[in-house]
Amino acid sequence: MLDTLRNYRNLGKFALHAFVIMPDHLHLLMTPAENVSLEKSLQFIKGGFSFRLKSKRDVWERGFNEVQIRSMEKFDACRRYTEENPVRAGLAQSPRLFQYSSVSMPTNLDLIPNHFDWTTTQG
């Protein structure tokens, strides 16, 4: 999964701001590229991972949960939620101790999106 995320991020399909790869699900804080829809970005990830896995079985549920982030406060809250997911699940004592997350691999991240209205306080 890490290779899949890196590959499509490096190809410019999306910007990756935070992530955590859990045993049975994935959290991403991402911004699709200007010419790529969110659905297409996730199709790259799902299809790319399935291809690498070479499994004959379905590994993805249909659909995904989407939250549109309109403020820096909401962005920070979503990033914290994502990074703290392994701790809440009992998989690590702290986010930094979980190997498959943006906290342990900060060089794989993109800058905060510049489209926020910095005066906005609503999520």
pTM listed for this prediction: 0.81
Residue 121 lies in a domain: no
Residue 117 lies in a domain: no
Instruction: Give the residues of the chain that fall short of pLDDT 50.
Output: 118-123
What pLDDT does 123 receive?
43
What pLDDT does 121 receive?
44
Residue 113 lies in a domain: no
Residue 23 lies in a domain: yes
What pLDDT does 68 receive?
83
What pLDDT does 122 receive?
45
Residue 50 lies in a domain: yes
Candidates 40, 18, 20; CA nearest to 30 is 18
What pLDDT does 54 receive?
82
Q: Residue 34's domain spans which residues?
A: 2-108
Residue 120 lies in a domain: no
- Separation of alpha carbons 19 and 41, rounded Å: 14
Residue 118 lies in a domain: no
CATH code for the domain in which residue 43 is found: 3.30.70.1290
DSSP assignment of 33-60 equals: -TTS-HHHHHHHHHHHHHHHHT-SS---
What pLDDT does 33 receive?
92
The total number of structural domains that make up the chain: 1
What pLDDT does 96 receive?
93
- Separation of alpha carbons 46 and 30, rounded Å: 15
Residue 89 lies in a domain: yes
